[in-house]
Amino acid sequence: MSNDKNIEIKETHNESHNHQEDDVEWKVCCSNSSKSFIKYIVMVVMSIIILLFSITMIIRNPEQDNSIYFSLISSILALYVPAPTLDNMNGHI
C-alpha cells in the first residue's frame, strides 16, 4: 500500500517576527496556506458539524432529555459570539 498524497511542511522564517506561528506555511495537495488559516478552517468545519448534529438530534427526539445537545449548541456559539463590553462612548452613558 503506497501513500499517494504528498504533504510537506515548509517553514519560512522572518527575522523580524522571530518564528511566529503565522510564518509557518503548510503545503497540502496543491495549496500553500498558513498554519493559523488551516486551524481556523478546521475549527469552523468541526463547529458546523457539531451544530448540525445537535440540531438534528433535538428535532428527531423532542420527547427525550436533550440538555446535552443544547449544551453543545451553546458551547459552540460561545466560541464565536464576542463577550459584551461596556464602552464609555466618549463620556456618554
Per-residue pLDDT of the chain (93 residues; tens, 9 = 90+): 445 455 555 555 444 444 555 567 877 777 787 888 888 888 999 999 999 999 999 999 989 999 999 999 999 999 888 888 887 666 555
Q: Is the residue at 49 inside a domain? A: yes
Q: Is the residue at 2 inside a domain? A: no
- Number of domains, the chain: 1
**SS3 of 31, please?**
strand
Using a cut of 0.85, tell me whether the model's pTM lies above it.
no
Q: Is the residue at 86 inside a domain? A: no
| Phi and psi angles of residue 5, each rounded to the nearest 5 degrees, phi first | -85, 135
> What domain range includes position 43?
7-80
Q: Is the residue at 33 inside a domain? A: yes
